Structures are given as C-alpha cells and as structure tokens.
Amino acid sequence: MGTTSLREIADDLPLLKSSEEREKLLGVVGALVLRRVSLDKASEIMGMRREAFLGLLEALGVEYSYLEEEDVEAERAW
C-alpha cells in the first residue's frame, strides 16, 4: 500500500482534525491489533485517556479485546 493510499484512507476518518493525527491513528490501531503496543501505550501515543481511546475505537468499528483468541473461545464455551 502506497503513501497516497494511506493518506486517502486517513482523509476518510472524520473523527480527527488533522491528516497527521488521522495517519498516526491508523498506525497506532495497526500496532494495537497486531499486539505490538498495549492499549495504554496506544492511548498515550494518541494523547488520549484509555477510556476515550476505547470510545474512538468503538466509533471506528475496531474490535479490540484484551483477551487472546483462545481466551475468547474458552469464555464462549464456559
């Protein structure tokens, strides 16, 4: 994916004012989903409280869980 495509995606995010913030959000969400950063660190990078950042993820439709996939399956089976 080229930089132009990333900017186009970032421009479609209406929740943040500057394109730099939107681009940063995409990187942070990617790192979070890949479990390269914790939720606390992702919130810190975005300059938001954890609860506010979770609200932003929810508004964007990003599903995030503290649990690993195996943990989710165990909870469902329980």
Residue 9 to residue 27: CA distance in whole angstroms: 12
Whole-model pTM: value is 0.67
pLDDT in tens, 25-71: 889 999 998 889 999 999 999 998 998 888 888 888 888 777 677 77
Residue 12 pLDDT more than 60?
no
